[in-house]
Structure 1
Amino acid sequence: MGGSDGVRVGVLGSYGGRNVGDEAILTAMLDRVQGARPDTRIVVFSRDPDYSRGVRPDVEVVGWEGASRERTSEHMRGLDVLILGGGGILYDTEARRYLRLVRTAQCHRVPVFTYAVGAGPLTDEVDCDWVRSTLTDAAVVTVRDEESQLVLEEAGLERPITVTADPALLLRPGDSGEELLRAEAVPRGVRLVGMSVREPGRAATDLDEHGYHQLLAHVGDFLVNRLDAHVVFVPMERDDIRHAHAVASHMTDPSACTVLRGASRPQQVLDIVKQLDLAIGMRLHFLIFAALAGVPLLPLPYAGKVFDFAQQVGAPALRGVARENVGLLLAEVDRLWDERSARQAETAARTAALRTRADRTAEHFLAYLETIAPPPVSGPPAKHPSAGPRPLLAREDL
């Protein structure tokens, strides 16, 4: 496999959906892989190819939604390996859509590497069947958290599963945040508390839309009155804007908050989060960005992946976003603010450990890639600054 024109790596996930978290995963993954293997030719399978080409003009982009099996096969058969994942895509009614493409690749004898994939909720028997039949034949299976490992095991997958961490943890904050906030007319010289909300849906089935809007409005009022803060709603997906405005409409003083609209690229959002004094949120990658930026954070778990991340970074691990928890939630916000300095050191240490785990996914993949497509003999591949020598890994070693 591989050739004079480089090794061809397909990447399949929820890319092109204009979700900041998914695009952060893709950015971190490709930067890491291409940095170590410059001969890699990337083919991104995107839900919105025009959007993905605009974001990543350096890679080949293929649209797959609505495409026939024959058309998909044309692109799959030319790959040396297909990466599946990097985000939460294996859940009820959605898993089968991605795994159909995986099966197409496997029919053309293309090995499949699941890259820190996220799973759950996964109880539908059709989707569980797809998981068992498809991932059993994968070359390597890595997941981003213990919750995903448990979900796949409960779905009946009986093979080694390696737990790493979310690829977006490899991103680093920059210095553009102040300018971006100024462009959004966010007040200067005041405390800024970021909030992240999301829509109910298949990935958040327990959310009561109106109930949690009112709950978070109470939190917003508390932040304004207790901390004299300005609340900045940070959308991670387009529909988050509507829900942010719904929360603001229930606040006593909606003028004490700003709903961001201009920042949509992962690096932009990460840089904005770096400017915050506190972060309270539902979206996983908003919380990851806060941890990377050293900002005290309070997760509002709506799913296992958020609860799991809260435990990993030592943040308060509330059990859910429920209306009756308003008193508990306000107490946690108050405690977080009072203890923010003491918590920062522990969170920083835990986040550094997660970054190391996140890099292991890339190390596993690059080691596997060497077994099927050795790098060009003209010179060794570039090494990641934090990476030491790595042995070749057999499937059973992972």
Structure 2
Amino acid sequence: MRGPTGLTIGVLGSYGGRNLGDEAILTGLLADLREQEPNARIIVFSRNPAHTALAHPDVEAVPWEGVSRVDSAEVLAQLDLLILGGGGILYDKEARRYLRVVRVAQERGLPLLTYAVGVGPLTDGVDTGMVRETLAGATEVTVRDQESRMVLEEAGLLNPITVTADPAFLLEPEDFPARLLREEGVPAGKRLVGLSVREPGRAAERLDVDGYHRLLAQIGDFLVQRIDAHVLFVPMERDDIRHSHGVLSHMIAADRGRILHGDYSPRQVLGLMKHFDLAVGMRLHFLIFAAMVGTPFLPLPYAGKVFDLAQRLGVPALRGVEREVEGPLLAEVDRLWDERDSRREATARRVAEVCDQARGTSQVTRAVLDGLRSRTLARMAA
């Protein structure tokens, strides 16, 4: 229950889908809200309310997919503020689904804040128009990267846009005991490389499945030979398991590879990254986690958001996954291993800067919450 001066805040995003990146975003966002507004009643609009309620027992979780305007309006009528984001949810064919709920909220005069949201690709006329018109009525617009700001500006949004960083940068790691690695079949006392793959799908439509499976298998085999490593595939969502098996099936040294099978929280996976000597990956939040704990990492960009992260952190990133360019990728992996110590300090400095930028979302949110809180107290005093 909320306290006598607590606000009721709704959070809408791609939550409850068992994607560790999205769940990391929600975990960081909720921790931020609790710190700023301890007495708040928080309602999360989730794809899977049961999953969200289990992972976050201090919030209420309600469905939003397949819910009528009338039913959405009943929940929205209880809110003082609707937060959209964070994460990459405003892109072609998907933006309209989230904004349908937002429009119902705005029809009721509910304030809207976008929380380090990710935007793009955005080329469809319907989605572009909805994003422009809906966010024009937002109290504050914050995005997680420069690319998202550019997409919104090209869509015609005239509001001030604040660039912050992904809410996952707000997380603190949870210990991942070595015994869990043993239970996952990873031998003790060996160098360990983390590898992250993903499915093609709308976010990575240009990926040729068999081609990139073979390419990543070559990277895995190279690291086994180059540094005498074992490789642990880290699925960030369910379908990554299948693609990890696909890569592993092409490895010559398949006996040196394992796939993480346990059900772990974002904070646990963040703690797991400390066990890796090196990380090579496609998934954005796998790379964010590696950066946060100081593990040397190489991004394999399939989308602008991954390339943007590499640029912000000052690390090399080759677009060879889409083009199946083996030589440059293996050379960059080799260079990363040789230069890992010399790069560490510069990367840590960049990571600290991005963490500060992530806390910038909190500053924007705090100003909005302070205004709402003052108006609530004024109504109660009247």
The answer for the alignment partner of 2:49 in structure 1 is 49
Q: Determine helix, strand or coil for the equivalent of 1:100.
A: helix
State the one-letter code of the partner of 1:93: K
CA distance in 2, matches of 1:316, 1:177: 31
CA distance in 1, matches of 2:374, 2:38: 12
Q: Determine helix, strand or coil for the equivalent of 1:87.
A: strand
Gap change, CA 1:375 and 1:320, over 3 Å in 2? farther
The answer for the alignment partner of 1:31 in structure 2 is 31
The answer for the alignment partner of 1:103 in structure 2 is 103
Gap change, CA 1:139 and 1:128, over 3 Å in 2? same
- Does residue 308 (structure 1) correspond to residue 308 (structure 2)? The answer is yes
- Give the deviation of 1:268 after TM superposition: 1.4
State the one-letter code of the partner of 1:212: Y
CA distance in 1, matches of 2:23, 2:374: 28
CA distance in 2, matches of 1:15, 1:66: 15
CA distance in 2, matches of 1:230, 1:123: 42
Q: Is the 8 A contact 1:274 1:295 kept in 2?
A: yes
Q: Determine helix, strand or coil for the equivalent of 2:149.
A: helix
Q: Determine helix, strand or coil for the equivalent of 1:339.
A: helix
For structure 1, which segment, 61-70 or 150-159, has the greater mean C-alpha deviation from structure 2 after superposition? 150-159
The answer for the alignment partner of 1:265 in structure 2 is 265
Quick one: percent identity of the two aligned structures? 61
Q: Is the 8 A contact 1:196 1:280 kept in 2?
A: yes
Q: Is the 8 A contact 1:177 1:274 kept in 2?
A: no
State the one-letter code of the partner of 1:110: L
The answer for the alignment partner of 1:217 in structure 2 is 217
- Give the deviation of 1:118 after TM superposition: 0.2
Gap change, CA 1:61 and 1:224, over 3 Å in 2? same
Q: Is the 8 A contact 2:5 2:373 kept in 1?
A: no
Q: Determine helix, strand or coil for the equivalent of 1:255.
A: helix
CA distance in 1, matches of 2:94, 2:320: 23
The answer for the alignment partner of 1:60 in structure 2 is 60
Q: Is the 8 A contact 1:236 1:264 kept in 2?
A: no
Q: Determine helix, strand or coil for the equivalent of 1:374.
A: helix
CA distance in 2, matches of 1:375, 1:282: 45
- Does residue 182 (structure 1) correspond to residue 182 (structure 2)? The answer is yes
- Unaligned ranges ≥5, structure 1: 378-398
| CA deviation string 1:305-355 (max 9, x = no partner) | 000000111111213413541100000000000000011111110000000
- Give the deviation of 1:177 after TM superposition: 4.2
Q: Is the 8 A contact 1:14 1:46 kept in 2?
A: yes
State the one-letter code of the partner of 1:120: G
CA distance in 1, matches of 2:226, 2:354: 33
Q: Is the 8 A contact 1:215 1:323 kept in 2?
A: no
State the one-letter code of the partner of 1:138: A
TM-score (norm 2): 0.96
Q: Determine helix, strand or coil for the equivalent of 1:199.
A: coil
Q: Is the 8 A contact 2:191 2:229 kept in 1?
A: yes
- Does residue 253 (structure 1) correspond to residue 253 (structure 2)? The answer is yes
Gap change, CA 1:263 and 1:315, over 3 Å in 2? farther
The answer for the alignment partner of 1:241 in structure 2 is 241
CA distance in 2, matches of 1:348, 1:374: 39
Structure 1 segments, 4+ long, off by >4 Å, are none
- Unaligned ranges ≥5, structure 2: 378-382
TM-score (norm 1): 0.92
The answer for the alignment partner of 2:20 in structure 1 is 20
| CA deviation string 1:217-241 (max 9, x = no partner) | 1001101111110000000000000
Q: Is the 8 A contact 1:64 1:72 kept in 2?
A: yes
CA distance in 2, matches of 1:302, 1:243: 15
User: What is the aligned length?
Assistant: 376
For structure 1, which segment, 79-88 or 170-179, has the greater mean C-alpha deviation from structure 2 after superposition? 170-179
| CA deviation string 1:16-47 (max 9, x = no partner) | 01000111111111111102221211100000
Q: Determine helix, strand or coil for the equivalent of 2:325.
A: helix
CA distance in 1, matches of 2:302, 2:133: 29
State the one-letter code of the partner of 1:295: T
State the one-letter code of the partner of 1:13: G
